[in-house]
Structure 1
Amino acid sequence: MPNLFSRWFGAQRRERALRKYAIDDALWQSTLDALPFFGHLDAAELARLREDASLFIAQKEFSTAHDLQLTDAMIVSIAAQACLPVLNLSLDLYRGWVGVIVYPGEFVIRKTVEDEDGVVHEVEQDASGEAWEGGPVVLSWEDAQMTDGAEAYNVVIHEFAHKIDMLNGEADGHPPLFRRWHAPLDAQAWSNVFDHAYDHFCAQVDAVPDRRWSRFERDSLIDPYAAEHPSEFFAVCSEALFVTPHAFEAAYPELYRLLARYYRQDPAGVGALAGRHE
């Protein structure tokens, strides 16, 4: 009976959260209008996304920095975008932390880096987002509003992809594979596609002459920043999957199918999930 009681209690708590944090109809519609990449979702999927966004808001603590005023529109926009990658998985992938911190624009982060000679340096750099292992997600609101789908860019999806990647330890571009959702996809099958694509992309970036760098940045669907680390490649490709799915599938068909199978979504509608294991 304990399991039955736990399920009943969990269902009751869920219903209370959905009532308490229900999203107003007008606010939800304005959120969808501002996020055109939700266009591949049908009515039932949008209804589930709305529920997930309410539950996400119930579970997380939103705060701002530098006197930025926190509004319901900001909270719902971030929640909806954060919930898209886990729509056909589970909000449990965001367990173990509670904070979402929103800055007005880019903010400074401090990192420890080791150069080619093994010398460790403390560096500062501007950032539009950051995900801390076991800690908060930090976002630039200015960047979080860059959602017109003109480019494969979405800072919210990027940082929450990092959070998923961190579930099995330090972010490394090899997110956890769950048998209930991802079988028969396994670690070797992931490596065969993902690692090869990452190595190939890094080779492309390394081969660009300095005089052609600006053109490469302009023409490349995948931001060259993705070559920094496999975790960044995973996060940037996750952005592309959801924001510019048709272009991503055309340029990187194998990689598109891998990520579509991982997130259990096929935004380009190319049949990437046909015959998947349930």
Structure 2
Amino acid sequence: MSTFARWFGAQRRERALRKYAIDDALWQSTLDALPFFGHLDAADLARLRENASLFIAQKQFSTAHELQLTDAMIVSIAAQACLPVLNLSLDLYRGWVGVIVYPGEFLIRKTVEDEDGVVHEVEQDASGEAWEGGPVLLSWEDAQMTDSTDAYNVVIHEFAHKIDMVNGEANGHPPLFRRWHAPLDESAWAGVFDNAYDHFCAEVDAVPARRWSRFERDSLIDPYAADHPSEFFAVCSEALFVAPNAFEAAYPELYRLLARYYRQDPARVGALSGEKSPQDMSND
């Protein structure tokens, strides 16, 4: 990149940070409402705030069903969306601009193929949806569900899908970059992630119908994660950030893998023992 291009990029970044600066009181109220940011130190929170401003500058927020769009909604969604890429790059969210916020769950139409290969059009309620090359749709009611006792976060879930889609259709194998993820490679990812997914699917399939409601209630990972590897990646990403200690205790190898991928260690267990810590790598 030329010196001029770097200078122009820096100037554009500074203009965006000034134009979309987040008010101190609004930022603090956002943090107070999202307790899972607690693993971040002051420097991390400052970078998160800057990234949230840049995210807001790059995206177009709109609402559906006459929901009034507020600064609080925009900042909350932006902060949560920027958490997974805090030690990576906002470039992972390039190529699309729309964030559409619904008051609550909304109806989506999908095509599904049954066991006989017959394709059906179905409608179902959703709290979030990420379209390849298109917008992210979110339920504002669900985006405010931040109880850390439950590994649930619709914003992180949908933006994990967006990361997964960088190389095309979401498949549970997000892009690996030498700059950030070495020595993690596709083989190492598959060795942990695919085995964990297969084991989880087998666990879900083994649950008798009479015990299903209890399994759903007691399982840290939502059984919905067994639907597809991409859903397993998104649900586990939620768990990493929202319930890191429980996730690490239940799935230590999978926790280590995702901590290495996102270059963050929310449970503070030294998941990258023998390598640079996520905090050190954030300075690369």
2:86 partner SS: coil
Distance 1:276 1:178 in 2: 16
Determine if contact 1:104/1:141 at 8 Å carries over to the other structure: yes
Cα displacement string for residues 192-218 of structure 1 (whole angstroms, at most 9, x for unaligned residues): 000000000000000000000000000
1:149 deviates by 1.3
Q: TM-score, normalised by structure 2?
A: 0.97
Determine if contact 1:146/1:154 at 8 Å carries over to the other structure: yes
1:26 equivalenced with 2:33 (yes/no): no
Distance 2:39 2:163 in 1: 22
Distance 1:5 1:148 in 2: 47
Partner of 2:121: 122
Distance 1:27 1:71 in 2: 11
1:172 partner SS: coil
Cα displacement string for residues 134-184 of structure 1 (whole angstroms, at most 9, x for unaligned residues): 000000000000012120000000000000000011000000000000000
1:140 equivalenced with 2:122 (yes/no): no
Q: TM-score, normalised by structure 1?
A: 0.99
Partner of 1:249: 248
Cα displacement string for residues 10-53 of structure 1 (whole angstroms, at most 9, x for unaligned residues): 00000000000000000000000000000000000000000000
1:275 deviates by 3.0
1:169 equivalenced with 2:168 (yes/no): yes
Distance 2:182 2:274 in 1: 11
Distance 2:110 2:257 in 1: 31
Determine if contact 1:82/1:157 at 8 Å carries over to the other structure: yes
- Identity rate, percent: 89
1:101 partner SS: strand
Determine if contact 1:34/1:148 at 8 Å carries over to the other structure: no
Partner of 1:184: 183
Distance 1:25 1:77 in 2: 13
- Structure 1, unaligned runs of 5 or more: none
Determine if contact 1:83/1:91 at 8 Å carries over to the other structure: yes
What is the letter of the counterpart of residue 131 of structure 1?
A: A
Distance 1:256 1:179 in 2: 20
The correspondence of residues 1-12 of structure 1 with structure 2, limited to 5 A, is 3-12=2-11
Distance 1:137 1:274 in 2: 35
Cα displacement string for residues 112-146 of structure 1 (whole angstroms, at most 9, x for unaligned residues): 01100111100000000000000000000000000
- Structure 2, unaligned runs of 5 or more: none
Partner of 1:71: 70
The correspondence of residues 1-278 of structure 1 with structure 2, limited to 5 A, is 3-276=2-275
1:192 partner SS: helix
